[in-house]
Structure 1
Amino acid sequence: MIARLEARFERWRRPVGLALAPAAALVVWWLPLPGLAVPAHKLAALMTLAIILWVSEAIPMAATSLLVPALCIVFGVGAVPAVLAPFASSITFLFIGSFLLGLALQKHGLDRRLALRLLSLPGVTHSAFTVMAALGVLTALLSMWMSNTGTTAVMLPLALGVMQTCPELGRDLRARENLILLIAFAASVGGLATPVGTPPNLIALAALREHAGISLTFVQWMQLALPLSLLMLAWLLWLLRPPAGINLGRADDLRRRFRDQLAALGPWRRGEIHVAGALAAAIFLWVFPGMSELLGFGGNPLTGWIRRHFPEDIIGLLAGLLLLVWPTDFKRWTFTLEWHEAVKIDWGTILLFAGGLSLGAQIFQTGLARAIGEGVGALLGQPDLWTLVAVAIILSIALSEAASNTASAAIMAPMMIAVALAAGVNPIPVALACTLACSFGFLLPVSTGPNAQAYATQQVRLLTMMRQGLWLDLVGAVVIWLVVRFLAPLYGWT
């Protein structure tokens, strides 16, 4: 019955959204909104249009991200330079670079080699739990540097292969479902840990920079998000542990099978070495300056030189471009990453990200942000910081069940920063909690890309996904609040 209801919801979501979006926008357009300037009033109508179109996906989300800024210009909400400038935000280019790196990882099979190397280590094949834990940990690690959807696309075939290699694991319904869900959920949880792990993270950084004048470094993000990611991964491994009594056979035999698959890949190819080198260089440049400061030697010449010549936003782009000019075969004139391959990165998500930045900029420039902030503050009775953090988490998780994580962050991050500023509290904890919560929403296949991929394997029942996803959402909401509540004051973000 639930599957039929979900199918009916999916069938009607787009046509209803296509009809409702302009109707609701017109209602807001003609509705008296005292205290709002004319540009802010018009923007409120266009925001209504954007939110409904994003949530319903009545038209491609990237198209909405281009349509609404264009309408802002047509209806006089803002001038062309002000409306379109966010599309050239430096963080947009960090986005592009991280996508290029992820594409190269998949193209050359470095991700699969790492997975088989991990599975063939001593002790990993000791039990069904250790095998599943290894797959879950590797999924989370890869998704720190690749898109969640790309990571899931790599790891799900490996998980299905493990079930074929270990028939008893595949025959047990609960173990099979838990393994598939572990891959999908771990991809989303791992993406929390770094700014480049998932698009909502970069949306938060850009929104804080543009609307609150606050710049957080790569390491500052990880100081808060990495502990959260590790806690949620630990909860996932316990929640989705295999049933007791599954016998995988002799550990040595199973390990030998994985080693044979690894040997079949042959020695490291030149492309794999290039990708590993570019990724290692990017991670070093992202992490070294912040770690130097944490360890008390941030004033060394190397740290200063890196900060001057390699701003964080440009590192990912340079690493991706390096692969486009690093030859793998001079005679054949082939490169680690070819341009016809590079154009296949997710440009739709990039446009969605940029459109969200544009809309967020107009929210602040027209004064609509201040009005929203004051309205929410009055509704909540001038909330304190931690109440506002809780509200941001709940609203973001609820929205991300129906809309994509990126669309949810594009809507929520600017609005919650505006509410925090109007309430006179530090916007950093609010923005981070809101954005981290946007990467949750594990209830349905439509909630996240990894969820959809897991459900598409036809190995997971919808009720199982909903039950386990609900547990993850509930525990996640509490853990996000606790992590932000106890770590933000340590870093002076209160």
Structure 2
Amino acid sequence: MAEKKRNLKPFFIMLAFVVLIGILLLPTPEGLSLMGHRTLAVLAFAIILWMTEAVSYPVSSAMIVAILTILLGLSPSLDNPDALLTTEGALKMVLSGFASPAVALVAGALFLAAAMQATNLHKRLALYILSKVGPKPGAIVFGTIIVSIILAFFVPSATARAGAIVPILLGMIAAFKLPVNSRLGALLIITAVQSISIWNVGIKTAAAQNMVALDFISKEFKVSVAWGEWFMYAAPWAVLMSVVLYFVMLKVIKPETTNLTSGITVVNDSLKELGPLHKSEIRLIIISVLLLFFWSTESIVHPFDSTTVTLVAVAILLTPKIGVFTWEQVEKLIPWGTIIVFAVGITLGTVLLSTNSAQWLSSKVFGLMGLDSMPLLATIALLSLFNIIIHLGFASATSLASALIPIVLALATTLQSDVNPVGFVLIQQFVISFGFLLPVSAPQNMLAYGTGAFSVKDFVKTGVPLTIIGYLLILLFSATYWQWIGLL
């Protein structure tokens, strides 16, 4: 009988508290306030919980809120060092993340994803596209990438997009009378989730972690990045990476069969089973297209920001007769814990910045590396490499952005005056979405890995070349395109 795997979660929880207490007991470093010192202790505590997943992300969020409130409340106020901040004052700081427009946008995005799920529109769209490609493996890989790209415009949740595509591909694999863990299964499922990660970079509203960076940028630099601006910056990189993905997948994973006609037949049959477009789907199409129009023309033809138009869309989706679902239906489809995690991540990053602990940490970590005095391209190269390596320990890009972006923001303010700090931070946010290397690097990867369609080795074999090429393209774009259009 195989030995039962040891549960290390209690050990990691204990480790997190030991590190928290250990840092708190250290003397407060010079140049750092007591409040900043305690915030860094909570950051270390959070990182251990996030990296080890000793508790679920919503549970870790509750722990972070409670500990941060108590520690800050019993610290001298930054404005008046002779008086304590008090827990009431600390609570206002700690709950500030819940009032962030970025959190409202993420919540709205989850409602949109739920609308797609309730109406099956994302499934219909995926089936339609796959029905139009040929029966050759290359054609189906191409169709899978196209589905991922198109859904990224309309479904602002990477996990929801994976949830739409993966079951369809599994149905195709079954139609070929091949096991789930066949070469074809690995090829199609890995293609889908790697493409989703690529377009998390390409489109502002495709992933929650993008909102984290934009919220910090808005607070620190008083600059908002419009949907169309992000698209202009990142979409060319994502298009090139999609082409790279196509060739890497067909080169690395060769399927058992080259004639996949039966799979296309299953797709066509599934499409027929959905029947004609329902009224709710038609309404959702109209709302989604209008929403995409307002997103893409933000600050160009109208003054409304992405969050506002998204919330208007949600209100319409819930309105009787013209919407697509009721509150009773949608509340079961929303992962409410995601909103809490996101808000607490925003809070932690905001407190890191407001207590100057992010700036202090940046000067100690990156200052010792000499990044602030290096040529810009060398700084981007080293920081991006650091970003990719540290991502290996994070299963959530949102958590990684919450921990890393405030420190990158602090570094950006120390660079040469001719460097655009907003662009510098955005580039690191692009790298944070690199979920290519391991199944645990992103939630959509884990959803796909749970199907048993591929091994960790399969994923790594595709992830290594994608990460290397993506990294080199980041450097190439930093040296050329992003400088030409003024991002850097």
TM-score (norm 2): 0.88
- Change over 3 Å in CA distance of 1:66–1:448 after alignment to 2: same
Q: Which among 487, 490, 493 is matched to residue 487 of structure 2?
A: 493
Tell me the SS of whatever aligns to 1:205.
helix
Residue 268 (1) aligns with residue 264 (2): no
- Pair 1:82-2:70 in alignment: no
Q: Does residue 1:40 correspond to 2:32, yes or no?
A: no
Q: Which moved more, 1:416-425 or 1:310-319?
A: 416-425
1:24 aligns with 2:35: no
Would the alpha carbon gap of residues 477 and 15 (structure 1) be closer, same or farther in structure 2, given more than 3 Å must change?
Answer: farther
Question: Which residue number corresponds to residue 156 of structure 1?
Answer: 166
Q: Which amino acid aligns with 1:39?
A: M
The 1:161–1:315 alpha-carbon spacing in structure 2 relative to 1, beyond 3 Å, is same
CA RMSD of aligned residues (A): 2.5
The residue aligned with 2:82 is none
Of 396, 399, 407, the residue aligned with 2:390 is 399
- Choose from 441, 448, 454 the match for 1:454: 448
Superposed displacement of residue 213, structure 1: 2.1
Instruction: Name the structure 2 match of 1:108.
Output: 119
Find the counterpart in structure 2 of residue 349 from structure 1: 338
* CA-to-aligned-CA distance 1:138-179 (integer Å, 9 cap, x gap): 0232134321111111111111122233447x6993333111
- Are positions 1:361 and 2:350 aligned together? yes
**1:52-71 paired onto structure 2 within 5 Å:** 52-71=48-67
Separation in 2, partners of 1:103, 1:456? 22
The Cα shift of 1:223 comes to 1.0
Q: 1:388 aligns with which of 368, 379, 386?
A: 379
Identity of aligned residues (%): 26
Structure 2: gaps (5+ residues)? 76-84
Shift in Å, 1:87? 1.5
Structure 1 residues 96 and 347: CA distance shift in structure 2, 3 A:
same
Letter of the 1:158 counterpart = I
State the SS of the aligned residue for 1:82. helix
For structure 1, list consecutive stretches of 5 or more residues without a partner in the other structure.
291-297, 329-334
Counterparts of 1:175 and 1:112, CA distance in 2:
21
Contact (CA 8 Å) 2:387, 2:431: kept in 1 or not?
Answer: yes
Aligned in 2, Cα 1:27/1:422: closer, same or farther, shift over 3 Å?
Answer: farther
CA gap of 1:270–1:376, structure 2 versus 1, over 3 A, is same
- C-alpha distance after superposition, 1:297-327 (max 9, x if no partner): x5xxxx2xx21xx322211121122111142
**DSSP-derived class of the 2:95 partner:** helix
CA–CA distance in structure 2, aligned partners of residues 366 and 258 of structure 1: 55
Equivalent position SS for 1:214: coil
Higher mean displacement: 274-283 or 433-442: 433-442
Q: After superposing the two structures, state which structure 1 stretch, 439-448 or 71-80, moved more.
A: 71-80
Structure 1 Cα separation of the partners of residues 154 and 200 of structure 2:
8
* Deviation sequence 1:434-484 (CA, Å, 0-9, x none): 222222233332221122122211121221112222222222222223224
In the alignment, the residues of structure 1 paired with residue 60 and residue 277 of structure 2 have an alpha-carbon distance, to the nearest angstrom, of 43
CA distance in 1 between counterparts of 2:207 and 2:479 reads 23
Task: Give the equivalent residue in structure 1 for 2:307.
Answer: 313
Aligned residues: 462
Choose which of 293, 307, 319 in structure 2 pairs with 1:325. 319
CA distance change for structure 1 residues 440 and 373 in 2, over 3 Å: closer, same or farther?
same
The aligned amino acid for 1:482 is L
* Distance (Å, rounded) in 1 between the aligned partners of 2:366 and 2:441: 29
Task: Name the CA distance, whole Å, in 2 between partners of 1:325 and 1:96.
Answer: 17
Which residue among 272, 278, 290 is the counterpart of 1:281? 290
Taking the aligned partners of 1:120 and 1:346, their CA distance within structure 2 comes to: 31
**Kept after mapping to 1: 8 A contact 2:24/2:41:** yes
Q: Which residue of structure 2 lines up, in the alignment, with residue 118 of structure 1?
A: 129
Report the Cα distance in structure 2 between the residues aligned to 1:339 and 1:136, rounded to whole angstroms. 33
Query: d(CA) in 2 for partners of 1:395 and 1:276?
Result: 41
> Is 1:139 equivalent to 2:148 in the alignment?
yes
Contact 2:166/2:192, CA 8 A, preserved across alignment: yes
Query: 1:126 Cα deviation (Å)?
Result: 4.7
**Is 1:408 aligned to residue 405 of structure 2?**
no
One-letter amino acid of the structure 1 residue matched with residue 486 of structure 2: G
Contact map agreement 2:19 2:44 (CA 8 A) in 1:
yes
Equivalent residue in structure 1 for 2:10, among 15, 19, 28: 15
In 2, Cα distance between equivalents of 1:16 and 1:144: 42
Alpha-carbon distance, 1:205 to partner: 0.7
Which residue does the alignment assign to 2:109? 98
Q: Describe the superposition over 1:361-402 as per-residue Cα deviations: whole angstroms up to 9, x where unpaired.
A: 111211212212322343122233323322332222222222
Q: How far apart are the structure 2 equivalents of 1:282 and 1:120?
A: 27
d(CA) in 1 for partners of 2:366, 2:387: 17
Q: Deviations over 1:32-68 (max 9, x none)?
A: 3222121111111111111111212222222333432
2: CA distance, partners of 1:36 / 1:311: 36
Paired residue secondary structure (2:191): helix
CA contact 2:58–2:337 (8 Å) conserved in 1 = yes
Conserved 8 A contact 1:392-1:433? no
- Distance of 1:315 and 1:371 partners within structure 2: 37
Residue 357 (structure 1) shift: 1.4
